Chain A
Amino acid sequence: MDNKLFDKTIEHVIKYLNESIFFEKYTKSEGLLQSLESRVKIISLVIFIVGSVLSKHILTLLIFNAIALLLAYLSNIPMYQYLKRVYVFIPIFAGLIAIPVMFNIMTPGKDLIVLLNNPHISITYEGVKYAITFTLRVATCVSFAVLIPITTQWNKVTSAMHKLGIPEVVITITNLAYRYIFLLLNFILDMMYSRKSRAIKKLGMVESWKEAGKAIGALFIKTYQMGEETYYAMLSRGYTGEIKHIYMEKITSKDILFLAFSIIITAILVLFDRGVV
């Protein structure tokens, strides 16, 4: 029995589970980014992302993109998997959004291809340049952003954030949430499978919403109880209202070199982009 609520939700949950398993696999392999201190790595990658957002020219964006690919290569991430992840979906969607920009109605300029003479409709050089720059910038940002989870275990990301000054209470909530997300994803999966197996007719749209409402209601009650149980479980193990985070990573000269490299390269590229260099 086809039903979008059940099928799409199951698909979505499985996609997320797969993704995190995929990421986890490469965080443990040997490579450049994996060997860096987490704080340095996250800051460097964010600097690259900011640099990409600041860039306005195709050439600069291509150089940033090449740096991301090089970092992925040096971190032993299989290129095919990486490219698939980076260049499918998010950039394709950005590309679709950018299509109307190519025409002279949105971006007047030199005609590249004339589609209609009266009224004059054409694809302009400026329009194509705009669309390519926009899509490429989105892709470049994604290519750096994806390197964070692919080379860093999540608990290192949260400890690094704590070291960078995010309050303890936020980190504790994030850590708890991240763990429970996976437990509860499986719970949703079970709920959807069992409900789907009992469906004897196709559900209408509003009926699907009601089903989703009941499922989410049950989920809320479940999580509420879990929150209470978790508290007692933590209390019985010595929870005092504060969680100490152990941070073993140390910044070495290699990390400082990498950070300096990121800052200098990004600065040069952004200045080059603005026509200063």
Chain B
Amino acid sequence: MHIPDGYLGPITCAFFYLIMIPIWYKGIKELKKLDPRKLPLLGVLTAFAFLVMMFNLPVPDGTTAHMVGGTLIAILMDNPWVATIAISIVLVIQAIFFGDGGITCIGANCFNMGVVLPFVGYYVYKFLRNKVGEVIASGIGAYVGIVTAAICAGFEFGLQPFIEPGYCPYPFTVSVPAMAIAHLLTAGPAAAVVTAIVVWYVRKVRPDLFTSKEQQVSGVNA
């Protein structure tokens, strides 16, 4: 889902940078409300978001996919803004230092994976949490989140032939189903199972991390 440079036209790229500026601003404001003690934690969590993408999960079509981890971080930290900032920083590091995703597309990539994915995933989880239990809710949240983000990316690709010919050549009719089906069948189920297992595992091994808001901040060594 990392869109490289040259796939989106300049207007689309600029548009998503403009959209992301107020979102980043709001995200940073949300972070400043947190305990300063959480800052180092956010640093390592950002590293964690990066590392989640390193796990190559075998998928049904015989290749491997990776998950984004946005929903997972939003759920574990109980705050989707944390995921937005962490994923955005990861995407910038990846674009500049590792060539994953383009520099001109950082805005669009952050919007898809850093905003749509964690927010959709987190609110689906929140909505279902009391109905089906948090483990299953987190799996469904991760699934819906990644598929919605993929559809957004497909939509951005599909818009190109109409507004800026010469970039991504495929219209909606091709790009949206291509992105949606790939994620519905491959990366989606993998992300769902992995996210659910992580939530189950962390809750089982370290229930103390989640007993209260207060303990999330300070109770690690307790």
Contacts and interface: CB of A to CB of B under 8 A. Distances in A.
Interface string A111-148: 00000000000000000001001100110111001101
Contact of A231 (B37, B58, B72): B37
A203 B47 CA distance: 28
Contact of B169 (A106, A214, A230): A106
Contacts of B52: 216, 219
A13 B56 CA distance: 10
Given A216-B198, A217-B202, A138 B54 contact: no
B43 to A, nearest CB: 3
A137 B102 CA distance: 12
A170 interface: yes
A5 B44 contact: no
A205 B62 CA distance: 10
Contacts of B39: 169, 172-173, 176, 231, 241
A85 B220 CA distance: 43
Contacts of B167: 134
A225 B95 CA distance: 28
Nearest to A13: B54
A253 to B, nearest CB: 27
Interface in B185-209: 189-190, 193-198, 200-202, 205-206, 209
B7 interface: yes
A218 interface: yes
B18 interface: no
Contact of B193 (A146, A210, A223): A210
B177 to A, nearest CB: 15
Q: Bin chain A's interface residue count.
A: 35 or more
B109 to A, nearest CB: 14
B58 A230 contact: no
A188 interface: yes
A176 B41 CA distance: 9
A32 interface: no
Contact of B6 (A53, A183, A218, A220): A53
Contacts of B99: 85, 90, 142, 145-146
B55 interface: yes
Interface string B42-84: 1111111011101111111000100001001000100000000
Contacts of A259: none
Nearest to B166: A56
Q: Bin chain B's interface residue count.
A: 35 or more
Contacts of B46: 173-174, 176-177
Nearest to B31: A169
A215 B57 CA distance: 12
Contacts of B60: 205
Contacts of A12: 54, 56
A228 B54 contact: no
B55 A138 contact: no
B166 A130 contact: yes
B41 to A, nearest CB: 3
Contacts of A181: 47, 50-51, 93
A220 B40 contact: no
Contacts of B93: 174, 177-178, 181
Nearest to A54: B10
Interface stretch (A44-52, A68-76, A244-252, A261-269): A44-52
A46 B55 contact: no
A213 B195 contact: yes
B197 A213 contact: yes
Given A106-B169, A217-B205, A185 B58 contact: no
B54 A212 contact: no
B221 interface: yes
A78 interface: no
B13 interface: yes
A272 interface: no
A185 B51 contact: yes
A254 B164 CA distance: 37
27 contacts: A4-B56, A4-B58, A20-B98, A49-B103, A94-B7, A137-B6, A141-B4, A142-B5, A148-B96, A170-B89, A172-B43, A173-B43, A173-B89, A175-B43, A177-B89, A178-B47, A180-B43, A209-B57, A210-B197, A212-B55, A212-B194, A213-B193, A213-B196, A216-B194, A221-B202, A224-B44, A231-B37
Given A4-B64, A19-B98, A223-B44, 7 more contacts: A49-B102, A134-B167, A177-B46, A181-B47, A184-B47, A209-B197, A216-B194
The 10 tightest CB contacts between A and B, nearest first, are A213-B197, A176-B43, A227-B41, A217-B201, A141-B5, A8-B56, A177-B46, A180-B47, A138-B6, A230-B40
